[in-house]
């Protein structure tokens, strides 16, 4: 069985570690020649996932046709910003028999389209699933016990996803709310930025807990108005992922907020993070726009937006 992994970042490598050693033909795709060359030479992506070595059996290429053509499964682990361009690259040779599994946590800023919706609309994909839940790439790579939500309306996609990625360590709960779990995966990133700010300001745990509860309320509001199911907000993909991302310095969104809480401006915070992608930054902007259009009374988002995009005092986050 051939498995094409789109992306060569931390989570892509994490899932490759789950798949390696099981007799699959695994090939990872990256558009960056330097990234490909380093992994070919050292078996490590030192910038995005230092210390985690890929098995020699895992192939790496910058040729999208080599990766995707003839694959039984396409495992998407790209940042959301890269999805549309990648779909353009594969649409001419995509086969409707191929199963797509998406682990991207992000949404379209303009119209809140999810990753799986893009694959459905532009490729006509029907055998598709999404994974979301409280997990960091290092936990996936090291086979740490984690629980995920598997969103799909395709029995074939569900069975394939479970066969490939459910292990003694990785447990999955299935839902048909495929968009809902992806919305949660994006929204929690915005809320986590504020949690990081509070940590940087060194506030009491009680203050952070109150903020987390308020963020949970905002997540549920957004999820329902976007068309997800309310109960999804309290699932592994909702409350579970929110708590993990809001409490751990391993989270890039939390860390970005932490630097702001320590007094750095946005540009300085990004520089401290070596300009890594911070999904929450973009989601704050998108949710602010969306809440205005839909007249949703968010508590966290207007304050986060003013701090991040209007340069307002970071101490305002304590008043949420």
The fold adopted by the segment(s) 2-176 is Rossmann fold (3.40.50)
Q: What percent of the chain has pLDDT over 70?
A: 100
- We find that the CATH architecture of domain 180-319 is Orthogonal Bundle (1.10)
Q: What is the pLDDT of residue 39?
A: 96
Confidence of residue 107 (pLDDT cuts 50, 70, 90): confident
State the pLDDT at residue 111: 78
Confidence grade of residue 112 (pLDDT, cut at 50, 70, 90): confident
- Structure confidence at residue 35 as a pLDDT band (50, 70, 90): very high
- Is pLDDT of 96 > 80? yes
pLDDT value, residue 277:
79
Segments of the chain assigned to CATH 3.40.50.720: 2-176
Cα separation, 167 vs 231, whole angstroms: 25
- Span 234-292, pLDDT tens digits: 999 999 999 999 999 989 999 999 999 999 999 999 999 987 778 899 899 989 988 88
Parts of the chain belonging to CATH 1.10.1040.10: 180-319
C-beta atoms surrounding 43 within 10 Å = 15
Residue 102's pLDDT band, with cuts at 50, 70 and 90, is very high
**Between 111 and 90, residue with greater pLDDT:** 90
Average pLDDT, the chain: 94
Long-range CB contacts for residues 223-231, cutoff 8 Å, separation at least 24? 223/180, 223/183, 223/184, 223/187, 225/294, 225/296, 226/112, 226/179, 226/180, 226/183, 227/179, 227/180, 228/177, 228/179, 228/180, 228/181, 228/183, 228/184, 229/175, 229/177, 229/180
């Amino acid at each position: 069985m051939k498995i094409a992994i789109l992306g060569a970042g931390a989570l892509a490598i994490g899932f490759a570690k789950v798949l390696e050693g099981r007799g699959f033909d695994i090939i990872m795709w990256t558009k960056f020649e330097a990234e490909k060359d380093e992994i070919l030479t050292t078996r490590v992506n030192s910038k995005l996932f230092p210390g985690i070595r890929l098995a020699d059996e895992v192939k790496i290429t910058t040729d999208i046709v080599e990766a995707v053509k003839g694959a039984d499964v396409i495992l998407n682990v790209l940042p959301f910003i890269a999805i549309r361009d990648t779909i353009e690259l594969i649409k001419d040779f995509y086969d409707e028999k191929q199963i797509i599994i998406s682990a991207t946590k992000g949404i379209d800023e303009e119209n809140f389209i999810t990753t799986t919706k893009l694959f459905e609309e532009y490729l006509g994909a029907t055998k598709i699933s999404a994974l979301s839940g409280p997990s960091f790439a290092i936990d996936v790579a090291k086979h740490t016990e984690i629980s995920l939500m598997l969103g799909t309306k395709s029995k074939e996609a569900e069975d394939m996803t479970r066969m490939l990625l459910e292990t003694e360590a990785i447990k999955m709960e299935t839902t048909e709310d495929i968009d809902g779990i992806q919305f949660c995966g994006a929204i929690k990133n915005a809320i986590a930025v504020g949690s990081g700010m509070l940590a940087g300001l060194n506030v009491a745990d009680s203050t952070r807990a109150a903020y987390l509860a308020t963020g949970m309320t905002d997540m549920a509001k957004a999820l329902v108005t976007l068309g997800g199911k309310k109960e999804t907000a309290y699932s592994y993909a909702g409350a579970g992922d929110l708590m993990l991302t809001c409490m751990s310095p391993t989270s890039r969104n939390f860390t970005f907020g932490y630097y702001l809480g320590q007094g750095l401006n946005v540009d300085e915070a990004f520089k401290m993070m070596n300009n890594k992608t911070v999904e929450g930054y973009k989601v704050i902007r998108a949710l602010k726009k969306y809440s205005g259009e839909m007249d949703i009374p968010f508590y966290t988002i207007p304050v986060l937006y003013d701090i991040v995009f209007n340069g307002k005092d970071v101490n305002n986050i304590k008043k949420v």
